[in-house]
A = this chain, B = another copy of it.
């Protein structure tokens, strides 16, 4: 078949060269978006080209609404008329409802707001916005800022020590430091501080709003229109590819460090291994998403967010942007694991000692703020249904039984360290609550690692099969080491 082969070679070569031309055609543009592009094609060519690659530039809402319901990505029943027949372009997101957006400014004759918010996205995606508002993440900023205990820990992170007379004293952190540490993920507050003039080069001097807390894409960002969150934290601008939101890398941005090593666990899990080795064969963009057919191992999104159905169209799990929907126990222990909170505003929890924590220092849960056994069971069953797409019940129940045990064991290991910590406080070897910070001495930092790093790592490893993350890689061995370290520290320090 040399002739056919030659012909095919030629065709395939030409096809490869022609592939960029295959991108779906540009949807019609609004006059305003065309005006934006007239300058921004030159001013910021990268984001314009990025946007052209995405579905937002290629389909109008009217077209999107014509998809069968299961495949539809727009959750609005009705989209405002002026948006219906044009691409979702610059102006469709960055202008509109100007009064609500405190950062709106006159820019080439349009009222433009730089900070696109959930309210903007909700014009087409109201259901996702509504769900997300019940999600812990939407409140990630408030839950930190309003909780004096967490803010005390944050001070030990971002405060700048100055040594005088052999003693280190902390200077409170600047807003800039907070914005790029805790608030990078939790979200800054973006405020309009006035106006400023910039030389934009080819376009001359122009006036812009002066924003504090900018840039930021934190999940609990407080926006100039008062809304909470940033959809672009996961739905990365300006291509807004669903492939990206579904990729585990997106979650890794905030979930990889030693305090929340979820992505590190996923990386060494069987699920992760399958993803890395095989995902080039998958369809990461299909809606709804069919296990086995479109993908052969879950990413974070598959278990926690996405609409899953089988090949026959039967729904396995509904799409949710309230990601605690399928989670019954909060593994991120501060300082113990506990049932998920009823309200996403965790700073409103008070424990039996009147502190803003979901458990006491010895592990008693603040039960009235936490979901009950019935709700826990309902959520576990929802997750079990996801697992059940590929695993028999015996497999799933075996997995859950281990997680239950790990929660108990890790809590006991945190308690052991905490009892030693309390002993050090009682003996006056360290200064603890209520009069002093429990986070600002060396020995307290050893104790902090126990619940903030090691217990969390061990629990996540249990939940998602992360092997060594629950053993020698910030796992159980490290927890036993902390206990021995605290014993040793106390022994040395109580010598006369």
> Would you call B239 and A252 a contact (CB within 8 A)?
no
Copies per complex of this chain: 3
A329 to B168 CA separation, bound complex (whole angstroms): 27
Query: Residues of B contacting A480 with CB < 8 Å?
Result: 156-157, 159, 161, 170, 445
- Interfacial chain B residues near A296, Cβ < 8 Å: 46, 49-50, 53, 239
Q: Which of B254, B277, B484 contacts A440 (CB 8 A)?
A: B484
User: Which of B22, B114, B157 is the one whose CB lies under 8 Å from A476?
Assistant: B157
Segment touching B, from A67-75, A120-128, A132-140, A268-276 = A268-276
Segment of A28-36, A79-87, A339-347, A385-393 in the binding face: A385-393
**Is there an interface contact between A419 and B487, defined as CB atoms closer than 8 Å?**
no
Q: A168 — which chain B residues lie within 8 A by C-beta?
A: 416, 420, 483-484, 487
A92: interface (CB < 8 Å): no
Residues of B within 8 A of A158 (CB): 476
Q: Are B177 and A409 in contact (CB under 8 A)?
A: yes
CB < 8 Å neighbour of A250 from B21, B217, B273, B389: B273
Consensus secondary structure, chain A interface:
helix
Within 388-414 of A, Cβ neighbours of B (below 8 Å) are at 388-395, 398-399, 401-402, 405-406, 409, 412-413
A318 CB to closest chain B CB (Å) equals: 17
B162 contacts A467, C-beta separation under 8 Å: no
Complex CA gap A274/B241 in Å reads 10
Cα A389 to Cα B495 in complex, Å, equals 62
The answer to whether B15 and A420 touch across the interface, beta carbons within 8 angstroms, is no
Structural contact, B42 and A471, CB atoms closer than 8 A: no
- A351 interface hit (Cβ, 8 Å): no
Closest Cβ of chain B: how far from A144's Cβ, in Å? 12
A-B contacts, 8 listed (Cβ < 8 Å): A5-B21, A8-B15, A9-B18, A13-B22, A45-B312, A168-B484, A200-B393, A495-B495
Give me 13 other A-B pairs in contact (C-beta within 8 A), A12-B18, A174-B405 excluded. Answer: A8-B18, A44-B389, A44-B391, A45-B290, A47-B391, A49-B290, A114-B394, A166-B490, A168-B484, A180-B461, A184-B467, A200-B393, A445-B480
Q: Which residues of A contact B (CB under 8 A)?
A: 1, 4-5, 8-9, 11-16, 18-19, 21-22, 42, 44-50, 52-53, 114, 156-163, 166-168, 170, 173-174, 176-177, 179-182, 184-185, 198, 200, 208, 211, 214-215, 217, 236, 239, 241, 243-244, 247, 249-250, 252-254, 256-259, 267-270, 272-274, 276-278, 280-281, 290-293, 296, 310-312, 314, 388-395, 398-399, 401-402, 405-406, 409, 412-413, 415-416, 419-420, 423, 440-443, 445, 452-453, 461-462, 465, 467-473, 475-477, 480-481, 483-485, 487-488, 490, 492-493, 495
